[in-house]
Amino acid sequence: MKARIFVTLKPGVLDPQGKAIHHALAGLGFAGVNDVRAGKLIELDLADGTSDADIEAMCTKLLANTVIENFRIERQP
Amino acid sequence: MNSAVIVFPGSNCDRDLAVAIAQVTGRAPAMVWHGDTELPAGTGLIALPGGFSYGDYLRCGAISARSPIIRAVVDAAARGVPVLGVCNGFQILTEAGLLPGALMRNAGLNFVCRDVRLTVENAQSAFTSRYGAGEEIVIPVAHHDGNYAADDATLDRLEGDGRIAFRYAEPVNGSARGIAGILNAEGNVLGMMPHPERKVEAAHGGTDGRRLFEGLLETVGA
């Protein structure tokens, strides 16, 4: 089974990379982009039967820094 | 004073730190590999060097903070052993939970590598006793991720408890409240982005970093 982990900056945490992407999009002439936030996608290939609790623990112990980041787990069959 | 410098894959200031410590204390520190599980007996100071451990993969300091030796560092810190983290060492200390907050990409997105002016905010810690409160010193920075971030409650607590050791006296990286270095609640763990080991002898163009090591020697004892 696979799981995808989406790691994003918490709302309110300044995102310099998102700002730079925003700036570059504006430079390419794309108007109407209100804001850009950059995050990470981590794909895990897991042994069948890996529990939700284990995946959650992987996120809180390593994959996300919960001081500044949120994470969302998407299990795939 | 017996000291230890922790060496991670990708550390690049470990030898600079060792030279600075040896010059001031008169004893070369033990160079301890991150994969070790124990510190040498009688270690009175632990230093985590700058660099790009694990290539800053995932987040700067994230992988190193889960290294085997970190458990020994956390135990020693709990016993009151002084722990100094410089640059990547500071990032590792926050990722390991020994210091609050996180270090994010510089607000200007540029790698900043130059001398910066710092204000000594707390001159009473084990690390800063040789400085004057409010004194301005010059120490170089060299980082891409030195933009300190924490929630307002944490920042208020750091300010209220005198745990901000150094503040930038000029714009550098967008760091919250100009934070350049912070202490843990007990005062025996210091993380700072500027590199004191790069200002210890006249040939470095200044010696403002030397007093940090001298203060430590005085606190810890020979």
pLDDT tens readout for residues B91-101: 999 999 999 99
User: Measuring CA to CA, how many Å separate B160 from each of B102, B120, B131, B153, B165?
Assistant: 19, 15, 20, 10, 12
pTM of the complete model? 0.94
| Cβ contact B100–A17 (<8 Å) | no
Name B202's Cβ contacts closer than 8 Å, sequence gap at least 6.
none
Active site residues of B: 87, 195, 197
Is the pLDDT at B87 greater than 80? The verdict is: yes
Q: Determine contact, residues B174/A16, Cβ cutoff 8 Å.
A: yes
The ipTM of this complex is: 0.86
Cβ-Cβ contacts under 8 Å, B95 against chain A: 65
Q: Is B157 helix (H, G, I), strand (E, B) or coil?
A: helix
Q: Determine contact, residues B32/B6, Cβ cutoff 8 Å.
A: yes
Beta-bridge mates of residue A3: A44, A75
Among residues B219, B220, B218, B207, which one has the least CA distance to residue B20? Answer: B207
Among residues B190, B170, B65, B56, which one has the least CA distance to residue B112? Answer: B170
- Quick: pLDDT tens for B14-42: 999 999 999 999 999 999 999 999 999 99
Gap from A32 CA to chain B (nearest CA, Å): 23
Q: What is the mean pLDDT of chain A?
A: 94
| DSSP-derived pairing of the beta strands B179-183 and B112-120 | unpaired
What do you get for the CA distance between the two ends of chain A, in Å?
5
Q: Is A21 helix (H, G, I), strand (E, B) or coil?
A: helix
